[in-house]
Structure formats: C-alpha cells, structure tokens
Amino acid sequence: MASLLLLFLFLFASSALSQDSLIGVNIGTEVTNMPSPTQVVALLKSQNINRVRLYDADRSMLLAFAHTGIQVIISVPNEQLLGISQSNATAANWVTRNVAAYYPATNITTIAVGSEVLTSLSNAASVLVSALKYIQAALVTANLDRQIKVSTPHSSAIILDSFPPSQAFFNKTWDPVIVPLLKFLQSTGSPLLLNVYPYFDYVQSNGVIPLDYALFQPLQANKEAVDANTLLHYTNVFDAIVDAAYFAMSYLNFTNIPIVVTESGWPSKGGPSEHDATVENANTYNSNLIQHVINKTGTPKHPGTAVTTYIYELYNEDSRPGPVSEKNWGLFNTNGTPVYTLRLAGAGAILANDTTNQTFCIAKEKVDKKMLQAALDWACGPGKVDCSALMQGESCYEPDDVVAHSTYAFNSYYQKMGKALGSCDFKGVATVTTTDPSRGTCVFPGSAKSNQTLGNNTMALAPSANSTTSGCIPKYYHHPHASFADLTLLSLLLIVALVFL
C-alpha cells in the first residue's frame, strides 16, 4: 500500500509539458529590463512552450531550465567562433563549461555554432566547418554526441532564385563551405538550421509578392504560386523558401537532411517608412504560422512533415540598434504582458498569450484522471475555492466528470489569485487558455459574461511542479460536494480500515 501511495505521489509531482508542439521561441539578449530567468521559465510554462533558443549559453538561464523538460538550443556566439575553430582544446573546454555542466538536468538538444556566418561574418566562413567539427568531437569525447546535435543557422539569403523552388540553388560562392557543411550535417544526423523571414521578402519585392501570400492568408486558386516544373502549388512564402532549401540541397545530392527554422516572425511596429510592420500583420503572420506548424501541414514538397519552427522572438528587444522594427519582433513585453493576443483557434493551449485580460485556467487533456482528481480535491479543500456550483442540480454540475469539474475549480482558484504566475499549474495538470470555458448557464469566474469580481488573495499558491509536497488529499472517487472536513474523516476511516484488515 505504501509503495502504491509513493507511486501516486511521484506521478502527481511530475510536470511534463504538453505534447511537443514543434513551436519554440527565441530569447534575445538586447533587452533593457530583462525578466529574471525564473520569470522567463514561468512565462514559457504558462504558454506551454517547450522549445527555446538562446543566443549564448548563459549560466543563470541554463540553471533555470533545469528539470523543466524544455528543449534548449544553446549558441556559440560569432565572436567565439575563431577561437573554437583553431583549437580542439578550446572547443572541449567550451563543451565542458556550457554543456556537460548542465546536461541532462537541462535538456540541451542542439548547439548552434555561430549565427548567419556566411551572410553577416563572411570573413569567418572558412573556419565555420572546423568549429562545427571541433564541437562535435568534444561531444563525442563527453559521450553526448547522440543526445545533442551540432549545426549553424543560416539566413535564407544563401539561397538564390528561390522561386520556383525546384530551380533554387545555394549561392555558388559558398560551395567550398556549403558542401562540407552538408556532409557534416548528413554524417551526424543534424538538421539544416534556416532563418525564414517572409516579411523581408515581401518588403524587398516592391509589390511583386502579395501581402496575403506573405501572411499565410487564404488565396484564391488562381492566385496561388505554381512551380511549373513540379506543378506544386504554393500558398505562402514560408513554404516556398523551405522547399527552395530542400531543392537546393538535392541539387548538391543531399536529400535526407531535415530543416529546422530557427527564426521566423513579423515586427509589430515600425518607423514612418515601415508601413507593414503593424500589430495586425504581426498577429496574422505569427498566428497563421503557428497554426500551420502545429497542424503538421508540411510543405508542398514534403506534405505532412512538420517543420519545427522558432518564433522570433519572446520579448521585444528595446536596446537593439537599427530601425524601429528591429526592436519590435517580440510576442511579449518584459513585464509579461502580450504585445498582442494571438488568434489560435483549435491550436490548444500553445501560446494562448493573453496573460492579462481574458485568460482562464483549464484542466489539460490526456492527463491521468487520478492526478486531476487529487488537484480538484486540493482546490475545493485547502485551496478554499467555492465549488458550490459543482453540486448536483447546480449550474456547473453537468457534465459530471472530473475534467469539467477540475476546469471550473482550477479557473476559480486562478481568478481568485489574480492570475498570478504559478496559480495555474496544479502539478502540471492545468494550463492557461484564452478560450472562455463557460457553457450555457455555467458562467466561469473571469468570464465577460460574469458580474462576479475576484481580487487578489494572500493564500498560498496552488501546488506547482516545483513544490516538494503534493498539496492535495488523494481521492479516488468523484463527490464534488464533499467538504474538506468530510474528506479528512473519510481518509481517517480508510486508514483505520486498512490497519485492521
């Protein structure tokens, strides 16, 4: 019996993130008031984001990601590229300090060596592959080469004549680098990392590319771009660029290297001449992109093969030099408020990023019902949530199941706590959404349909994934109108019965 109880407590303490969404975010560094690493992780978890890319290997960030399960891409900054490319010992030391010191507690999955080296630091191009090989050798020595991939992000500008995609090829100037690079990626099973920005393609096309084509907006059949060689139809710039990269690799006889998009996004604000950097366009692009990836639509060349994509970026980088648009690619402000609320109907809880107004806490789907029940008991007991609406005959009794009842209780607690970070976790079985879960006469606290006002409360936060105790009383059958005292008495009776059986 004791072993079963320990097993239950262990399962309840687990806090796996939602099913892999294939969507990640970039976390830039040029932010004046950068939130603490703990706050960054809390925001990521509240948005069910389980992939991030860092532009360095910051110690405090890597420590904060420990035991979260979040998949992390770390980076060798461009300024460190030369040193690593010239010395195996330097690369080994880098891996020891920035990888082995944190893995496996921190789920480092990829090392990005440099960033857009061919197009932004061309004088270092000749040493790029050497740096990749030295980092790979250091991983082999540390027995981490099977768990962690090594690659380097490229601007899509390395592809010339990207339409039609079937005729695309890499800039031949870079063949002495591209060919050995692709051989390296193929031999190590690593992906080609590509930064894809339809915004820049649209702006630089001088009206040739329609805005709707850049934004993933629905097109009439006669407006779709057709590759005359393959007869493949393209409805957006993103897919055309990704397929252009696939075709460019096949032109060099590399056909089995996957592509990961390490940057893509749209600025929400621009200067006087940046007319298309608007909140509406940014929202439309990122919402459609995320939906496209989550649905595993794939590309016309590889339908059904989802392209893992990292949104650029999590926060606005207000210290970034350049035009106004360069400072305004973020999904969130540094205080955690969204720059805009993404429109993600049917995409689940991934990046349900309205964290200030119409947000609700709901029970996750496909989690253990006993874990839900235990969290429900905590909310209606020690959490001091008013669960009277769940009593038989009351407005929220139907449907009479643990998921529906947990959602009501979790959300009531979340609203009572003023939507504080950590108040929608319940050991990983709850998540934040922008979809109002109210139904019929069952109006949830926080709903625009409700006149009820719920303020901040000073009681302890709901049990979170980082708690060392379960914070709940196990309950194996559903009885929504049992009081906390009833549950305590029932627990004592069960213990007595077990002792004397």
- Give the catalytic positions in this structure: 116, 263
3-class SS of residue 148 = coil
- Answer whether 117's CB lies under 8 Å from 81's CB: yes
The dihedral sign for the CA sequence 477, 478, 484, 485: negative
Q: How far is the C-alpha of 281 from the C-alpha of 267, rounded, in Å?
A: 8
H or E element, residue 180: helix 175-188
The end-to-end CA distance of the chain, in Å, is 12
Cis peptide preceding 104, ω within 30 of 0: yes
Phi first, then psi: what are they for 27, rounded to 5°?
-115, 100
Query: Which residue is it, tokens 């040493």?
Result: 127
Q: Which of 280, 481, 477 is nearest to 390 (CA)?
A: 481
Q: How far is the C-alpha of 63 from the C-alpha of 112, rounded, in Å?
A: 19
- Answer whether 215's CB lies under 8 Å from 285's CB: yes
Phi first, then psi: what are they for 496, rounded to 5°?
-60, -40
CB atoms within 10 A of CB 379: 29
Please report the beta strands in 98-214, taking only residues with DSSP state E, as ranges in sequence order.
108-113, 149-151, 153-155, 159-160, 169-170, 192-195
Q: How far is the C-alpha of 144 from the C-alpha of 163, rounded, in Å?
A: 39
Q: How far is the C-alpha of 493 from the C-alpha of 412, rounded, in Å?
A: 30
304-319 burial: b if 16+ Cβ within 10 Å, else e: eebbbbbbbbbbbbee
Q: How far is the C-alpha of 277 from the C-alpha of 269, rounded, in Å?
A: 5
Side-chain-facing half-sphere of 340: CA atoms under 13 Å: 20
Query: Which residue is it, tokens 């990829």?
Result: 110
Q: What is the largest CA-CA distance in the chain?
A: 83
CB atoms within 10 A of CB 248: 24
3-class SS of residue 162 = coil
Tell me, letter by letter, the H, E, C secondary structure of 46-93.
HCCCCEEEECCCCHHHHHHCCCCCCEEEEEECHHHHHHHHHCHHHHHH
